[in-house]
């Protein structure tokens, strides 16, 4: 199907440095606060040290929010609370500072990058740096047609890889990954159901704006129909993304894999990021060691995917808005873990007394020296 050999990722991706992680654990044992008393912060600090291959762990100096954007043809079925083709307006709102992720990023001092892969809008309405990776205008309606052609799927995957390289080359040391899409949770549900071997109803959630029961049933039916189209291509991950994914999801998958190659840690946002991570895990089983699950959004598909990858969410605030907002909430927690791991002082070394002196103190007998002990006189 493609000149892109996905099997290469299994060879290129290494696990975070296990030796460094053991060194970080040993350092934690020596710090003044007992190990385990900081809960998951201990684990996060050690994970980050292994990812950086550095003890003590370095502060997170250049985090960035990266959002992949696209419209999905399946939204025409009324599976989303937003109108089909309206993701472009969401992107403009993000760029103008009017979305939750924009507010949080501004408060935390983290730059936001939006990458358009398949928005259904005139590219001239958005900045050049946003639209330069666009593959097509909207992805296909996956219940009845492929989301992408094989050529578009490869172009989207390579675009995601290129973005990962750009971020690594620019010094980004932690990525907060999310999506800006309309209808994106439907293909995400299809990917999770297909890869986990489950039914549509098990993975169908209500999306960011909590669709009503009728819309949920339409969404469930769309996932069911798309699943029939997905199952014959389960063995070919790029073809699976072309069939029932979309340009933005395909690019996110490429981004996750190439970020693992470049040893860039990634915090995953909601169900869309989790679904792409699940596809990426099928391609390279070591890749999830470079990712953190930020939060439990309440989407059943996300929970299914994270469980399959053995990733435990850091937070459970019920944030369903998407756009990387929930993942950005986890960033201060990771930064706090890095600071504690690096800056907590170690316990002072205890001055040990000779065994003879300790025994003498216990028994009350005088210490043995080089001269005979003098007899006591009255």
> Exposure of 37 by Cβ count < 10 A (0-12 exposed, 13-18 middle, 19+ buried)?
exposed
* From 152, 323, 355, 376, active-site residue: 323
Rounded CA separation 75/60 (Å): 38
Rounded CA separation 160/266 (Å): 14
Interacting residues of 358 by C-beta distance below 8 A, sequence separation 6+ = none
Closest CA to 184 of 73, 325, 315: 73
Contact of 62 with 173, CB cutoff 8 Å: yes
Token pair recorded at residue 164: 């990962």
CA distance readout (Å), 347 to 22, 25, 30, 31: 19, 15, 6, 5
Contact of 266 with 291, CB cutoff 8 Å: yes
Has 323 been annotated as catalytic?
A: yes
How far does Cα 100 stand from its chain's mean position? 19
Rounded CA separation 346/332 (Å): 24
Rounded CA separation 82/220 (Å): 17
Residues with catalytic function: 323
């Amino acid at each position: 199907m493609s000149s892109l050999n996905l099997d290469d990722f299994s060879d290129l991706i290494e696990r975070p440095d296990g030796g460094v992680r053991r060194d970080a654990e040993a350092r934690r044992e020596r710090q003044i606060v007992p190990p385990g008393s900081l809960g998951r912060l201990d684990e996060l600090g050690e994970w980050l040290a292994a990812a950086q291959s550095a003890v003590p762990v370095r502060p997170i100096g250049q985090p960035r929010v990266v959002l992949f954007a696209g419209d999905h043809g399946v939204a025409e079925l009324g599976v989303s609370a937003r109108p089909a083709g309206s993701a472009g307006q969401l992107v403009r709102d993000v760029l103008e500072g009017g979305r939750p992720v924009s507010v949080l990023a501004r408060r935390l001092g983290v730059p936001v990058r939006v990458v358009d892969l398949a928005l259904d809008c005139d590219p001239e309405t958005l900045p050049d740096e946003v639209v330069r990776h666009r593959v097509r205008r909207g992805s296909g309606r996956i219940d009845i047609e492929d989301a992408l052609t094989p050529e578009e799927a490869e172009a989207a995957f390579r675009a995601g890889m290129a973005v990962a390289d750009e971020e690594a080359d620019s010094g980004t040391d932690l990525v907060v990954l999310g999506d800006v899409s309309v209808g994106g949770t439907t293909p995400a549900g299809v990917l999770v159901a297909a890869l986990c071997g489950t039914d549509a109803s098990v993975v169908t959630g209500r999306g960011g704006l909590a669709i009503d029961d009728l819309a949920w049933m339409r969404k469930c039916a769309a996932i069911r129909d798309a699943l029939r189209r997905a199952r014959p291509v389960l063995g070919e991950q790029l073809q699976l993304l072309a069939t029932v994914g979309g340009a933005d999801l395909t690019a996110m998958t490429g981004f996750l894999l190439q970020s693992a190659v470049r040893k860039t840690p990634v915090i995953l946002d909601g169900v869309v990021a989790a679904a792409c991570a699940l596809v990426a895990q099928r391609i390279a089983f070591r890749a999830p060691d470079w990712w953190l699950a930020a939060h439990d959004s309440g989407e059943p598909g996300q929970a299914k995917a994270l469980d399959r990858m053995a990733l435990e969410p850091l937070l459970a605030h019920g944030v369903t808005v998407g756009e990387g907002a929930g993942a950005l909430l986890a960033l201060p927690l990771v930064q706090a873990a890095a600071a504690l791991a690096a800056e907590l002082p170690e316990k002072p070394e205890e001055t040990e007394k000779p065994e003879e002196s300790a025994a003498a103190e216990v028994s009350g007998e005088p210490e043995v020296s080089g001269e005979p002990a003098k007899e006591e006189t009255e």
